[in-house]
Amino acid sequence: MRQLALLGGEPAFAAPLHVGCPNIGDRERFFAYANRMFDNRWLTNSGPLVQEFERELCRFLGVKHCIPVCNATVGLEIAIRALGMQGEVIVPSFTFIATAHALQWQGITPVFADIDPQTHTLDPRAVESCITSRTTGIVGVHLWGQPCDVDGLRNVAERHNLKLLYDAAHAFGCGCRGRMLGGFGDAEVFSFHATKFFNTFEGGAIATRNDGLAARIRRMANFGFRGYDQVDRLGTNGKMSEASAAMGLTNLASLDDFIAINRRNLLAYRRVLADLPGLTLIARDSAERDNFQYVIVEVNRQKTELSRDALLHVLHAENVLARRYFWPGCHRQEPYRTMDPDAGRRLPRTEAVAERVLALPTGTAVGEQEIEIIGGILRDAIANADELRRKESE
């Protein structure tokens, strides 16, 4: 039996295995698009490749508008402003910090509501309990590509006359109730960052069925320009470049392959983790379309010898760069921690889930052989728990 690296052995992998290692589609296809871009001498400002990418996105998602932007953070900021959100907006704390920052950046207070411990997404009842006279909207997050309770949130939003935006950064290619995500709420924002299974280097898109909102978003993403030289509102630079659109069109052609590889990897993880006590892959709704881009394990401290953080330590020593997504929760990060130091009391489920989640590497850079080895590391760690604990306390 090989010795764990923390107990003096060699790391299982010579090079690091990252969570979110980029998927790269057909290079020749990308170079052909890049040549078109250079031939056109059109590098940005809604060029032909961005226009083609937008058409393809709308077709794939079955949504009327899907406006490519430079990244999802700016996409969220623009959508939040275009929807007229202000005052307080209710969001989960169990998300990437950008969801909260996109509000705070424009002087809107993110109010953190607790999550459903099964789906890790906003609990509509918790949302309702956070509503005050200053609340103007809700930003739900389809975490790990798992759809929010879209009916529950729509119900709360309608009864309280609130705007409803979805941070769909993880959810490109995922479905809900037989429809693609992108068409829910007032708008949804995707991320195409390099770490997402579908990337445009940096990038994102804002999807909406609402023509007026789409028109506002387009102008806001282009400095507020209406026409060639008239600016009729405050705007920013949220445009996607032609190079990013070239990558998007390239990767769209490989999307089914990426998803198939993610699914194969998830099934392999299911096999290797099956007999490990206390380590459970989060349940996914097999009836819905899924991109399978995150392999999320929950570590149940009552059933396993080692904590989530101890397992993380073991994996890192083996060059398996698993992540504690999204620990410790936005409410424990600045500036939110200082603004509301007691927020954790209202968020018991967020705090508990953030302590037990571990994201494992997947995507095209990982194969079944690597997953077998990762399973073996976790098995060895549990078998050597006493020795690992002794070593740690030395």
For the bound state, the minimum distance from the C-beta of residue 103 to ligand PLP, rounded and expressed in Å, comes to: 12
Tokens in use for 218? 């387009």
Number of chain residues interacting with ligand PLP (CB under 6 A): 14
Q: Strand runs (DSSP E) across the chain, as ranges?
A: 17-18, 65-69, 88-92, 109-113, 135-141, 163-167, 175-176, 179-180, 187-191, 204-208, 225-226, 230-231, 279-281, 295-299, 320-321, 357-360
Is the Cβ of residue 113 or residue 169 nearer to ligand PLP in the bound state?
Answer: 169
Contact pick of 19, 66, 72, 206 for ligand PLP (by CB under 6 A):
72
For the bound state, the minimum distance from the C-beta of residue 107 to ligand PLP, rounded and expressed in Å, comes to: 19
User: 86-115 mask for ligand PLP (x: CB under 6 A)?
Assistant: ---------xx-xx----------------
Tokens in use for 380? 């060895």
For the bound state, the minimum distance from the C-beta of residue 383 to ligand PLP, rounded and expressed in Å, comes to: 34
Is the Cβ of residue 78 or residue 310 nearer to ligand PLP in the bound state?
Answer: 78
In 3D, which of 302, 313, 349, 318 has the Cα closest to residue 117? 349
Q: 158-217: which residues touch ligand PLP (CB under 6 A)?
A: 167, 169-170, 191, 193, 204
For the bound state, the minimum distance from the C-beta of residue 143 to ligand PLP, rounded and expressed in Å, comes to: 7
Cα–Cα distance for residue pair 100/40, rounded to 1 Å: 39
HEC string of 207-246 equals EECCHHHHHHHHHHCECCEECCCEECCCCCECECCHHHHH
For the bound state, the minimum distance from the C-beta of residue 95 to ligand PLP, rounded and expressed in Å, comes to: 5
Contact pick of 23, 46, 73, 208 for ligand PLP (by CB under 6 A):
73
Cα–Cα distance for residue pair 276/272, rounded to 1 Å: 8
Residue 317 dihedral angles phi and psi, to the nearest 5°: -65, -25
- The β-bridge partners of 176 are 179
Residue 207 dihedral angles phi and psi, to the nearest 5°: -105, 140
Q: 113-152: which residues touch ligand PLP (CB under 6 A)?
A: 141
User: 233-262 mask for ligand PLP (x: CB under 6 A)?
Assistant: ------------------------------
Which residues sit at the interface with ligand PLP, rule CB under 6 A?
71-73, 95-96, 98-99, 141, 167, 169-170, 191, 193, 204
